[in-house]
Amino acid sequence: MTAVDRAARPAVAHANDSRTRVPAALVAALLAVALMAALGLSAVNLAAIAPRALWWPALFSPDLHDIRQIIVHDSWLPRIVTAWLAGATLGLAGTIFQQVLRNPLAEPMTLGVSAGAQLALTLAALWAPATLGVLHQSVALAGALVAAAAVFGLAWRSGLAPVTVAIAGLVVTLWCGSIGVALQLFHAPYLRGLFIWGGGSLVQQDWSDVVSLAPRLAVGGLLAWLLLRPLTLLGLDDANARSLGLALRRMRIAALALAVMLSAAVVSAVGVIGFIGLAAPTLAQLAGARRVAHRLVLAPLCGALLLWLTDQAVQPLANALGELVPAGAASALFGAPLMLFVLARMRSVQRLDAAAPLAQRLRSSRSIRRRFALIVLVTAAALVLALDLGRGVHGWQFSSVADLSRIAIWRVPREVAAFAAGIMLALAGTLLQRLTGNPLASPEVLGVSAGAALGLIALVLCAADAGHGARLAATAGGAFATLIAILWFARRSGYLPQRVLLAGIAIGALFQAVVAVVIAGGGERATTLLAWLAGSTYTVTPADAITALVLCLLIGLLTPFTGRLLEILPLGDAEARALGMRSSLARGALLALTALLTAAATLIVGPLSFIGLTAPHFARLAGARRPLEQLALAAPIGGLTIVVADWLGRTLLLPRELPAGLVATLLGAPWLMWLLARRHAA
């Protein structure tokens, strides 16, 4: 037995556990059913284009005088082959990302590939539209590679440590995405085509995408196979990998560069197709592919099958709606229920690796208290400035007492709601990252924000001119329905964090697919939805502000009682029981508290994803190590960030406004990038 096999033996032993055999057989059966369904749907769609007698000649030697045969040969068939190639490429890239970053939440979009490509195309569409005619693939590829290079640069000094790479990738993704959304809010009529491209479109007019993707997949698969031993070792912790002679930085950059190139190839060819790169490796592992070699083979097949089935299932609907159902968005409509069905029957899942700390030096309690006091003072000053300082017809000026009495009714509710929402999201993000040990976990991963979005979409589709109260009720209904579904779903597993994260991602992807379809339709509904999703305080009323503040106080005051739970749960179930703690009950309570904080903030200002993700990291970088210290620093950091962001979004581009969520990301992401870039290797 080789050293690699001995090192990987625990994982294999886990795979052979009898508790996982039933799910593996179930997943295999589901994949077989999916294959039969894809074949049947393909036949149905082909029959709608041409009669059965013309199938053979249309596929292989079409009559150029028969439009039906031309459509089959130059549109229908290359569309299927493109779905195979794109799905397989994303499945392969997702496997590499998850193995190198040692994180089951990693996917091809982790390193900002899709966000960079979409931003590049957005900029080109606005200021160099002539380049999109023949160079759109080159523009998208260049944007994807620049974003990935930025991630590598930020994580270079840490030796490309998995946690740092993952965080840097997510920050770059948020930053590029926020710039793109801001431009879309200002130039929505000119960028409607990018809405559809952003959802991934497999519509084909020739075989050019097949010719582009096929050799890249073949070369990528060969290189991945040559990197099999390094990939296996990269799944171990750094100390064990080094002891087995692996050059960590060199192999990580080689593997990540390969995965980025594969992802960029798909993005440049057919647009952003999410979820496939996350779902395919997960399904392959659930089907019994535990070794890296097996996953490198099975995950691309799962990805190809999932995207093929999705595309064939939505083609009749797409034809009815004028090709406004993006394939990438639709893939979540089918892939998410499949993952939920499988996860609901799993009895055990692999435990997530604990996140490595982002700050290495221990700080004294006195130092933490000084930092907390400083952040609170800065936050108080920011609240005063946001209320009093603004722009008018004469430029920047402080408001007089008389003016302040008139404008306070507009400004105070916004600032109070923003402050309360920032605190709640920061607390939720800290609890979730502490509970799961995963630095990529954020409140939105639970799917609660996506559920609120679905409630708003349902209302907008049924009554576009609904009032503020109806919108608040719709978002509340969607958020709390999702919360109940997540907690019910996780109950069978004893509220294991990894199960909750995967379930939340699947449900969130399902809801976000509906969001993407609505946005692809364009119009005022898309613009309204984009503004809300970006985190807006536009419509906050005094009653909303009071509600937000009360919810923040009532729910937030419960968080100091979680310190002991967060200290003991990471030790394991056996240790927790020895200390008299019921692990499943404690995890359920923490998850419920996290979801309540997320839902309360989302109801008021929409999903502010950047705060819940990065406020805990800012607190760590400020020296917080223990759970209560991190909660204490993250809360005012979250409130301060949103207050400043809302103030700047309201004043900088007067008379236009930017949502607070966008501004928080645009300003906070570069700061976090700078902090990450300054870190030395551990």
What secondary structure, in 3-state letters, does 386-420 show?
A: HHHEEEECCEEEECCHHHHHHHHHHHHHHHHHHHH
Is 349 part of a structural domain of the chain? no
Taking only the tens place, the pLDDT of each residue in 193-225 is 666 566 677 888 889 899 999 999 999 999 999
Average pLDDT over residues 461-488: 75
Greater confidence (635 vs 364) lies with 635
**Residues 48-60 pLDDT 10s:** 888 888 888 888 8
How many alpha carbons fall within 13 Å on the CB side of residue 492?
Answer: 12
Measured in whole angstroms, the distance separating CA 27 from the mean position of its chain's CA atoms is 24
215 with 112, same domain? yes
Q: Say if 356 falls within a structural domain.
A: no
- Predicted confidence (pLDDT) per residue in 493-546, tens digit: 666 766 676 667 666 666 666 666 666 665 666 666 766 677 778 778 888 889
How far apart (Å, rounded) are the C-alpha atoms in residues 102 and 355?
A: 10
Bridge partners (DSSP) listed for residue 396 = 391
Query: Max Cα separation, the chain?
Result: 83
For residue 612 the two structure tokens come to 């819940």
For residue 362, tell me if it sits in a domain. no
At a CB cut-off of 8 Å and minimum separation 6, what does 407 contact?
Answer: 390, 399
Same structural domain for residues 641 and 598? Answer: yes
Tens-digit pLDDT profile for residues 286-330: 888 889 999 999 999 999 999 998 888 877 765 544 445 566 666
SS3 state of residue 679: coil
105-115 pLDDT tens trace = 677 776 788 88
Same-domain check for residues 276 and 328? yes
Number of H helices, E strands in the chain: 29, 2
pTM over 0.75? The answer is: no
Residues 377 and 441 occupy one common structural domain? yes
Is there a domain that residue 350 lies in? no
What span, in angstroms and rounded, lies between the C-alpha atoms of 440 and 169? 10
Same domain, yes or no, for 330 and 389? no
- Domain interval for residue 427: 367-678
Co-location of 490 and 619 in the same domain: yes
One domain, residues 335 and 426: no
| C-alpha to C-alpha distance for 497 and 126, rounded to whole angstroms | 43
Give the pLDDT score at 18.
Answer: 38
668 plus 522 within the same structural domain? yes
Report d(CA 415, CA 413) in Å as an integer.
6
| Token pair in block for residue 578 | 């020895």
Half-sphere exposure (Cβ direction) of 177: Cα atoms closer than 13 Å: 25
Distance (Å) of CA 456 to CA 266, 459, 464, 465: 32, 5, 10, 12
Verify that 636 and 495 share a domain, yes or no: yes
Query: Cα separation of 32 and 246, whole Å?
Result: 38
- C-alpha closest to that of 477 among 443, 451, 445: 451
pLDDT band at 344 (very low <50, low <70, confident <90, very high): low
Q: How many CB atoms lie within 10 A of CB 378?
A: 14
Assigned domain for 351 exists: no
Most confident of 411-425, 522-536, 617-631: 411-425
How many whole angstroms separate alpha carbon 585 and alpha carbon 411?
Answer: 42
**Does the pLDDT at position 76 exceed 50?**
yes
DSSP per position, 110-159: TTSHHHHHHHHHHHHHHH-GGGHHHHHHHHHHHHHHHHHHHHHHHHGGGT
CATH number at residue 390: 1.10.3470.10
| Residue 352: pLDDT over 80 | no
* AA letter at 657: E
C-alpha span between 333 and 512 (Å, rounded):
9
pLDDT band at 553 (very low <50, low <70, confident <90, very high): very high
* 46 and 149 both lie in a single domain: yes
Q: Tell which residue, 286, 304, 308, 285, has the closest CA to residue 295.
A: 285
pLDDT of 499 reads 67
Average pLDDT over residues 421-444: 83
SS3 content of the chain, % helix, strand, coil (to 5): 80, 0, 20
CA angle 569, 575, 576 (to 5 degrees): 45
361: in domain: no
Question: How many domains does the chain divide into?
Answer: 2
Q: Residue 455's pLDDT band (boundaries 50, 70, 90)?
A: confident
Answer whether residue 2 shows pLDDT above 60. Answer: no
The confidence score (pLDDT) of residue 118 equals 82
When pLDDT is cut at 50, 70 and 90, the band that residue 190 belongs to is low
Let me know whether 438 and 325 are in one domain.
no
The whole-angstrom separation of Cα 146 and Cα 150 is 6
Question: Please, are residues 480 and 468 in contact by the beta-carbon 8 Å criterion?
Answer: no
Of the ranges 434-438, 450-454, 526-530, which one carries the lowest mean pLDDT score? 526-530
Contact (CB, 8 A) for 645 and 123:
no
In single-letter form, the type of residue at position 125 comes to: A
Residue 64 included in any domain: yes
Condensed to tens digits (0 to 9), the pLDDT of residues 572-592 reads 777 777 777 888 888 888 888
**Residues 375 and 256 both lie in one domain:** no
Q: What is the mean pLDDT of the chain?
A: 78
Using CA atoms, how far apart are residues 175 and 149, in angstroms rounded to an integer? 14
Q: Where are the beta strands (DSSP E) in 333-452?
A: 389-392, 395-398
Whether residue 636 lies inside any domain: the answer is yes
